[in-house]
Amino acid sequence: DAARKFPAEESERIRKAAKPGYQQLVDHYKRYADYDLPIIMEERKKLTIIPPTMTVDGELIFYNKKREIRIFYMGFGNTDGDLWIYLPKEKILCSGDAVVHPIPYGYSFNQTELLKTLKKAVQMDFEILIPGHGDVQYDKRFINLYIEFLDYTLTEVDKRYKKGITAEELIKAIDVGDFERRFAGTDPVSLYYFHGYTFEPTVNRYLAQLEKE
């Protein structure tokens, strides 16, 4: 099973690369393989896919005595079907995986539309942001940081894009040192995930998007 093999294979790759802090990453994957993965694999056996009984075309609003709850589509996010939830009275916005804290997912197949969606979201009147994963945010700093990162990265790819260029070449050419610090600090595990889950997938997916246009 690929999921079971991955931690050991990735640990070996990290060990061979021997970058600063690599032992922390190896230990991280060992904990994942020993404790988290068995639980995940066992829970997967219990999963049942339940088809939706209601779909949303644009916006759906629920009311009760205490609050108004809006479920709506704002545009392409982490997927092309991302829904957001907004409680206007409480000024709470739930983003789904369009925003993930502290290391965003960079796997959207439409990075430019994701950026537009985030720019719409940040204009909304909210004081609390509940991301798809991670800590609740009590201001707009993190979503603004992600917008800044996407703006910068897509612009840098645009500057260098030419037929035949590879994602590896772009990744080496683009300096994201400032964003490394702001998203991940100096923690080797966080830095690993910033590159593996945010920066590199963003470049890969955006390059694929440009090549289709």
What pLDDT is attached to residue 122?
A: 98
Amino acid at site 121:
A
pLDDT in tens, 17-69: 878 888 999 999 899 999 999 999 999 999 999 999 999 989 999 999 899 99
Largest CA distance in the chain: 60
Pairing of strands 128-131, 92-96: parallel
Residue whose C-alpha is closest to residue 94's, from 86, 103, 104 = 86
pLDDT of residue 19: 82
Q: Can you give the pLDDT at residue 196? A: 95
Angle, helices 2-17/22-31, rounded to nearest 10 degrees: 160
Residue 15: is its pLDDT beyond 90?
no
- How confident is the model at residue 21, as a pLDDT? 87
What's the average model confidence in pLDDT over 189-193?
95
- Render pLDDT for 92-103 as a digit per residue (tens, 0 to 9): 999 999 999 999
d(CA 178, CA 176) in angstroms, rounded, equals 6
- The pLDDT of residue 7 is above 90: no
pLDDT of residue 2 exceeding 80, the answer is no
DSSP 105: -
Q: What are the structural domains of the chain?
A: 2-44 (no CATH), 59-212 (3.60.15.10)
Residue 1 pLDDT > 80, yes or no? no
| pLDDT digit string, tens, across residues 122-177 | 999 999 999 999 999 999 999 999 999 999 999 999 999 998 999 999 999 999 99
What confidence tier does 4 reach under pLDDT thresholds 50, 70, 90? confident
Torsion of CA 123, 181, 36, 3, to 10 degrees: 90
pLDDT at 62: 96
Q: How confident is the model at residue 88 (pLDDT cuts 50, 70, 90)?
A: very high
Count of CB atoms situated within 10 Å of the CB of 143: 23
Alpha-helical runs (H) found in 101-176: 111-122, 141-160, 167-173
Q: How many other CB atoms sit within 10 Å of the CB of residue 69?
A: 17
Q: Is the pLDDT of residue 213 over 90?
A: no
Contacts of 73 (CB under 8 A, 6+ apart): 56, 57, 58, 59, 81, 82, 83, 84
Q: In this predicted structure, what is the pLDDT of residue 3? A: 78
Helices 177-184, 141-160: axis angle to 10 degrees equals 160
